[in-house]
Chain A
Amino acid sequence: MNLEAYKGVFVFAQQVDNVISNIAFELIGKGKELAKDLETEVTAVLVGADVKGLADELAEYGADKVIVVDDPELKEYRTEPYTHALASVIEEFKPEIFLIGATAIGRDLGPRVCARIHTGLTADCTKLDIGDFPINPVPGKEQKHNQLLMTRPAFGGNTIATIACPDFRPQMATVRPGVMQKAPKVEGAKAVVVEYNPGFTPDSKYVEIMEVVKAVTDTVDIMDAKILVSGGRGVGSPENFKILDELAEAIGGTVSCSRAVVDAGWKPKDLQVGQTGKTVRPNVYFAIGISGAIQHLAGMEESDIIIAINKDDTAPIFDVADYGIVGDLNKVVPLLTEKIKEATAKN
């Protein structure tokens, strides 16, 4: 493999029902930064049926070039035709980096493509940088420059690892939605559009889609929620939980509570976090008006980020909170909700 022949940062522009997924824009945003470090361009690869019209949007979010693979076989995602599409694009255009969203589509497509091409794929990256490998020079070993360094959590999040793919191209990585930032949209920006169709001949690897069933949104189990807005006795009354509901809605979270709240009859038991309730590990846990008794901590101390709001500065919850706010929740929470709404509206 002549590694020098591989140039450019390519991004899989995932679309579902001919709507480009946010992850595609996030990856283009990051791809642009990487391309800048490598003094090259970022190209979006758009795969589907009747999708040419979406190329402009990709340009507006920063793609310098868009390769469009348009074919009726590509209407709904299926592993084989999409793998053939991307593998053919890679062989034809030889990118040095290929980024794919770590979605239910990307985590199927990525490995199949990298196995067909014979290259390395690093999954669920939280950071991507251009650097050297080995990071520190090792005597007797060549130190390569301009390598993609892919950082990701492993072992249930207990470890952070940085991976490189020095001897194979393209260097492939999948990235979870919400990790990278979209670049600001530039209205009217245009990209070079290249149409490419490698030809699709169904074989035994093609599956048949018999039915597409769209999900009906359901109430979230607190154990599945990524953000929990949890209230304790300090909230004061069932009616006052309204301010927590509003915060939850603004931030895309779910309301949960402590045992005291369940015992008081304000909330049902399936919302209870704690020793005699549920154990949760959300990305963000708001502990509002919760003192932090051992039984409660047992149910939530593994949360990634704990934000506590309590007027008692000796409350034990502050021993585990990443960010502790000593204050009156009745004043802080509504203001917080407003400010979050402002911040998210800006994006």
Chain B
Amino acid sequence: MKIVVCIKQVPDTKGGVKFNPDGTLDRGAMLTIMNPDDKAGLEAALRLKDQYGAEVTVVTMGLPKAEEVLREAMAMGADKGVLVTDRVLGGADTWATSQTIAGALRNLEYDLIITGRQAIDGDTAQVGPQISEHLGLPVISYAQNIREINLEEKYIVVERQYDDRYHVLKAQLPCLLTALAELNEPRYMTPGGIFDAYAKEITVWGRKDLKDVEDSNLGLKGSPTQIAKASDKVRKGAGEKVTLDPAGSADYIVAKLAEKHVI
């Protein structure tokens, strides 16, 4: 069985956020981690590997620094790592990103593709379903549990989470799943695994290695959505303080709650 897991190196949102002059994120300047939903997807792939035997390839698109997240994945047990990096790919919105990754994945063999549901920097949850559309694959997003995978008959059974229920879905392979962080508890790396991971070669692809993708769909220029403006959210300090009679106090609070759309 061959599984491809798409992972992303994201800024740890607990740290500060920095921007380039054109409004896009200055990723080089921040503390980074493997996106939590992606890590869960990777763990799901590794469990399938433990259970059925599989080759797990992790793919990431990003700056050269993103290689770290591939090494982490390999130290957890992934077999191969692919870094997709190229200046012309930068500043991409979800359309251009999904086009890029689909272009990379067309070079690989896979029975199953797993991505995280959403990244903690963009928070869009769009790239996974968009990749599946570009590749013409069925998609099951919000996967909360993988029940069964059958390679001979080429199907997978997955629980798909909704707000008030879940569906048990059967999809043909190959298909794409987007994983929720709740899917599982990801394993740790092992000390030996780390050194082994760094001893392996990572495949590096640039724009020229992307298959069936037009330049007009890549990078900042290929992005239908554009940033009009971006700013830091103003951090909290002391706010207002009032001393009113009980009824006045209650009215004050209700007004504030309504203003903030809480009620």
Contacts and interface: CB of A to CB of B under 8 A. Distances in A.
Q: Is the interface of A mostly helix, strand, loop or mixed?
A: mixed
A179 interface: yes
Interface in B172-210: 172
B227 A161 contact: yes
Interface core residue of A16, A205, A283, A324 (most chain B CB under 10 Å)? A205
Nearest to B156: A207
B52 interface: no
B98 A154 contact: no
B13 A155 contact: yes
Q: How large is the interface on B (under 10, 10 to 19, 20 to 34, 35 or more residues)?
A: 35 or more
B139 interface: yes
Interface string A299-315: 00100011101000100
Given A16-B164, A121-B94, A323-B239, A133 B228 contact: yes
Contacts of A111: 94, 124-130, 133
Given A283-B262, A335-B247, A336-B250, A121 B163 contact: no
Contact of A124 (B124, B127, B242): B124
Interface in A180-213: 181, 204-213
Q: Is the interface of B mostly helix, strand, loop or mixed?
A: mixed
B12 to A, nearest CB: 9
A210 B124 CA distance: 28
A156 B257 contact: no
B263 A212 contact: no
B21 interface: no
Nearest to B178: A108
B145 to A, nearest CB: 11
Interface stretch (B1-9, B56-64, B77-85, B229-237): B229-237
Given A79-B141, A123-B126, A327-B245, 17 more contacts: A108-B142, A115-B129, A135-B228, A154-B122, A155-B11, A159-B17, A160-B232, A162-B227, A164-B226, A164-B228, A205-B136, A209-B168, A284-B260, A306-B236, A340-B254, A340-B257, A343-B258
